[in-house]
């Protein structure tokens, strides 16, 4: 669920203007963790960023199972009754991915995810990296079952437990060879986070994700989440757990201040959020929602040294 306040949220969500974080230790490369939980902030209205200018947001339990930060893995399946994404067949609409190779006529992607990916690839082209292939996008549960039977649990999640089943991820290849060695793979590993994408299954996180290293599998989580995950070396499992533990974190990315808050949801509830900035909301597919705010009322993040 995404909301737009004062006409800027869509541009921010797409990452326009966020081409890079500043170098480590600079004033713009800060991730700040404030002690206390989201519940504590609710009880301390005067201390919230933007206190005095709040709006009430009504949260339904169904919101737990919607959004860009859903954790989908072998333990947390695609939500029952989840709305399947609208997708386009890239073989039939090659103009939507101009300059990018398509593996075969089965590759489908949600238009919004495709647009974000194309923006990122255009940036790679300016660095002389331009031999990308899209090898897989949205997959039906049936297709996932075929892949699982063929590849096994080390390289594929069970049907109904894959990010591909909701169109949240895509597999990327290179015409120059294996992604682990190709310039395309190395560029994405270094830069994808700047555009809201993360390498979902890094080589050093197999024990956490349950999936072996996949240098081709990229997941969209959006900014500032991709930047925080990159800085703190988190995969999505670690990130959603960290948000639950901390309750709220404040981050400054390329000069924009964000407040990221976790709220447990057991029934309908009301949340108070700033009105002078922008916000978007995502469930975690477990037990709560993550609210991200930014703008003038989300600028309460205090500067601190790198974590």
How far is it, in rounded angstroms, from Cα 49 to Cα 274?
A: 8
If we measure between CA atoms, which residue out of 184, 159, 36, 24 comes closest to residue 101? 184
If we measure between CA atoms, which residue out of 170, 164, 166, 173 comes closest to residue 198? 170
How far is it, in rounded angstroms, from Cα 241 to Cα 94?
A: 39
Q: Where are the beta strands (DSSP E) in 213-304?
A: 214-220, 248-253, 256-264, 269-274, 277-283, 288-295
Other CB atoms within 10 A of residue 150 CB: 9
Token pair listed for 300: 């309460």
**Which residues participate in catalysis according to the annotation?**
214
Token pair listed for 106: 């089965």
**108-109 and 88-89: which strand pairing?**
antiparallel
Token pair listed for 75: 């333990």
Segment holding 13, helix H or strand E:
helix 9-13
Token pair listed for 99: 């300059």
Cis peptide before 203 (omega within 30 of 0): no
Segment holding 120, helix H or strand E:
helix 111-126
How far is it, in rounded angstroms, from Cα 246 to Cα 127?
A: 38
Please provide the size of the chain in residues: 307
Q: How far lies 69's CA from each of 8, 130, 150, 221, in Å?
A: 21, 29, 28, 6
Contacts of 97 by beta carbon, 8 Å cutoff, 6+ apart: 90, 114, 118, 134
């Amino acid at each position: 669920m995404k909301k737009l306040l004062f006409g800027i949220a869509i541009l921010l969500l797409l990452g326009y203007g966020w081409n890079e974080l500043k170098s480590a230790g600079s004033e713009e490369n800060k991730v700040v963790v404030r002690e206390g939980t989201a519940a504590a902030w609710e009880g301390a209205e005067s201390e919230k960023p933007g206190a005095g200018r709040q709006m009430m947001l009504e949260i339904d339990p169904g919101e737990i199972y919607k959004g860009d930060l859903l954790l989908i893995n072998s333990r947390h399946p695609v939500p029952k009754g989840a709305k399947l994404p609208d997708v386009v067949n890239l073989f039939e609409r090659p103009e939507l991915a101009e300059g990018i190779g398509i593996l075969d006529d089965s590759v489908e992607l949600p238009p919004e995810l495709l647009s974000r990916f194309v923006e990122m690839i255009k940036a790679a082209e300016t660095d002389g990296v331009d031999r990308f292939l899209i090898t897989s996008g949205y997959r039906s549960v049936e297709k996932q079952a075929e892949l699982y039977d063929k590849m096994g649990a080390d390289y594929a999640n069970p049907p109904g437990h894959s990010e591909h089943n909701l169109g949240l991820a895509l597999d990327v290849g290179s015409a120059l060879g294996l992604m682990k060695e190709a310039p395309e793979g190395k560029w994405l590993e270094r830069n994808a986070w700047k555009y809201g994408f993360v390498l979902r299954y890094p080589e050093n996180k197999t024990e956490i994700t349950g999936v072996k290293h996949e240098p081709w599998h990229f997941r969209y989580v959006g900014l500032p989440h991709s930047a925080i995950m990159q800085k703190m070396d988190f995969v999505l499992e670690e990130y959603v757990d960290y948000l639950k533990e901390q309750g709220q974190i404040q981050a400054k990315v390329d000069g924009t201040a964000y407040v990221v808050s976790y709220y447990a949801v057991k029934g309908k509830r009301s949340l108070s959020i700033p009105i002078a900035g922008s916000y978007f909301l995502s469930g975690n597919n477990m037990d709560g929602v993550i609210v991200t705010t930014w703008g003038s009322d989300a600028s309460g993040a205090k500067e601190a040294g790198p974590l």
